[in-house]
Structure 1
């Protein structure tokens, strides 16, 4: 059950859990001297193995998404260039 009393968990909240080390029992503390990392600071909700696997999977999906966006942008640019050339050819043949 979620902290709001629901029988289901919000997707965004689950993604937040898999991007924050506090859910695997670690803690970061910022001080004027720097940042300190404490492993096993408190009981984990998510196992570190699952957390690491999800982090790698998320980076993989982001890389694929980025490549898809680049391909779509390239296709858009090529289509625009083709339309400009086609329009110029039409005006030359008129």
Structure 2
């Protein structure tokens, strides 16, 4: 198991150093799967990655603000000015 892990790490390091054989997107997913299936902290790594994804989603949701405008807003002077500004760009 340690030999397999060392072999995978060395292959990964070699691929990073050598641009001719750099990792392509299609090669990354199997490597990620190998890391997740690793008996050495694979489960913990997957849990941490999932936690990071969830926290990133939470952060992005906190940053986005949606506001419903009233029906009157469409006919307001400010909205007409806003429309003219945004349509000119």
Short-chain TM bin: 0.3 to 0.5
Structure ranking higher on relative contact order (CA contacts 8 Å, 6+ apart): 1
Structure 1 or 2: more strand by fraction: 1
Q: TM-score, normalised by structure 2?
A: 0.40
Q: TM-score, normalised by structure 1?
A: 0.39
Structure 1 or 2: more helix by fraction: 2
